[in-house]
Structures are given as C-alpha cells and as structure tokens.
Amino acid sequence: MRRGAAGSGRRARLVSVLVAAALMATGCSAGIRDHNDTVMPTTSDAQSTSLVTSAPLETPTSTQTIPVYWLGHSDSAVYLYREFLPTPTTDEPIVSALEAMMTRSPKDPDYFSVWNKPSRLGASISAKNVITVDVSSDAFSQTVDAGIAKRSVAQLVYTATAAAAMAGLINPGATIQVSVLVDGHTGYNAFGHVSLNNPQTRDPSLLAPVWIIDPGNGSTYHGLPLKVSGQGISPSGTLSWSLAEVVDGKAGRVYQSGTVKIPKGPDQLGPFSFNLVPPLGTYQISVFTSDPTAPGGQAGVDSKVVTLEGPAATTAP
C-alpha cells in the first residue's frame, strides 16, 4: 500500500521505526562481475565529467516495485543508474530497496554493486526529512578504491531517498538527507575511504548523463510499436539512438538509427521517448550523446536488449 499524502501528518514523529532485518551474511557481492568493478578507470579524472547538476526525487507511485540504483561504467567514468525491481511488500520500502541493492543482482548486466549482504539493516525518517540508515559493518567488506567507495555510498543515498519518495514518506520539496550509522554509530569509514560523520545528500554529478528506463534489459514485448523512454542530458538538447540486431547473443549490424530531443533543451536533464516499429526479433537499443570531437563517436551510452514477439496467445473462456 502506498503511503501518500495521508501520511504527511506523521512527519512530526518517526514514520518508520528502525527495523532489524534478519539477514544471513554472504561472502561476496551479488553484483560484482570482475575486478574492474572495484576500481575507477585509470583514465578517469578525479572529478566526474557529468553535465548533470540536479537530481530530482522520484514521484509517489502505487506499483509493487522498489527503486534500486546501481553503478555502471560509461566512457571513462562510473555513474549511477536506476532500475525498478518487484517486491512482495512495500511495508518497509526503504529497507526493502536497500536490501535489494545489497543482495540482488541488476537486471542489466552492464550494472553492478559492490555491497555485501548485511547481517542487520534498518531505516527511520525524522520530522525534518532526515533518513537514518543503520547497517552492520559486514556490508562494507568488499575491497574497493576511493572512487568506487564514494559512488557506492552515493548509491545508498539515492536508493534510500528514491524509496522514501516513491512511498510518499517525505516532502519532495525539501532537501532530503541520509545519515548512515554502522552498527549503531556515526563516523564509520565506509570501504576504508568515505567518512560517515555527517548526513549525505544526492550528488547530481554522479548521476548517469543518459539512461534508458523502459524497456528493461531482457524484456519481451508482444505487439508494436515499442516505446523507448528514459532520461538524459546533452549540450545540444538532442540524443542519438540506434537499434542493432542481436545474433548469437551479440549486437550486430545497426538496423535503424535516429535522434530524439530532450524537451527541456540543451544542458538540462529531462525525459525523452520515441517509438520503434521493427520486424519481430531480438535487438539492442542504445541511446547516447554524439561525441563532437570524434566522427561517429558515442558518449554516455546506455543499452538494453529487448525481444519483440507476436501477439500473446489468449486462452478461450
């Protein structure tokens, strides 16, 4: 059940008590694919090159899904990307989303997470829109460098704030902070690199400059047109896209390509959408910013694989 405006009056007190999640620790992170996921690219600058300067909160929804942010490589940097995952309950949306972030694998194989499954996890919200997350130290047992550590803490902040916003637990017009306790205490050095002394806010520079929201990776669709939607930012206010045939699990020749405008204009993060009507089959959809310094170059690429099939069979009554 969504907690919407009816819950706003409860923001004068804790609206979500600290919940100890009885979780069994595991020895590895579900989202790590290889060693490259634990270190920033060697060509990456110390500062993110993202054009994103603001990171608006998600809007309340009644769907039985939870938002989870993942890390993903793009060009020579690592950014945050969001997926929606199914959940059997929304009674504790922040805990559910963070538990998924720390224990489940992304649907898109290009995304990853370095968090380990914690033995204890809880969350609460104060009347001042401060989310407090209390997690056991075993969640930080993966060895990563400073760049990935910074982004992983930001991943927690984005996931917690997104879950609270979608559940209607916070005032979307206020500045939302996340205070992270480890084993009940402040000041923990997360992954050996990030001090958790002070509350954290969303860092917009770490948000992916382009990402496809729908269709999800690995989706199967019956019927056309296929609507592609997402959000992005570019200096020109226009993104490029391509549709490539997938043969034997690999993207082959580009079947179709084009551009789509971001209605908010140049250098403004905003939604985009376009429709495709290709023949039935399996395709890789890619959306990106054309690199003006390299003919045919692509920057900020996000890709999804989708299968288009004929109309779903119906069962006679």
Note the pLDDT of residue 31.
60
The verdict on residue 132 lying in a domain is yes
Count of domains observed in the chain: 2
Cα 261–Cα 266–Cα 270 angle in degrees, nearest 5: 60
| 10-residue mean pLDDT series, the chain (317 residues) | 35 38 43 69 52 83 87 88 84 93 93 96 94 98 95 98 93 88 97 96 94 92 93 94 94 94 93 95 94 78 92 56
* C-alpha to C-alpha distance for 311 and 222, rounded to whole angstroms: 5
Query: 314 lies in a domain?
Result: no
Please check whether residues 12 and 87 belong to one and the same domain. yes
Residues 32 and 110 occupy one common structural domain: yes
- Predicted confidence at residue 14, as pLDDT, reads 36
What's the pLDDT score for residue 175?
Answer: 86
Residues 184, 201, single domain; the answer is: yes
* Terminal-residue alpha carbon distance, the chain: 32
Token pair in block for residue 219? 């989706």
- Residues 6 or more apart in contact with residue 169 via CB below 8 angstroms: 3, 7, 15, 16, 93, 94, 125
The reported pLDDT for the residue numbered 170 is 87
Tell me, rounded to whole angstroms, the distance of Cα 19 from its chain centroid. 24
pTM score, whole prediction: 0.83
Structural domain that includes position 72? 5-206
CATH code where residue 295 lies: 2.60.40.10
- Same domain? For 166 and 214 the reply is no
Are residues 60 and 179 part of one domain? yes
Q: Which residues contact 197 (CB under 8 A, 6 or more apart)?
A: 186, 187
Final residue in a domain of this structure, among 170, 185, 206: 206
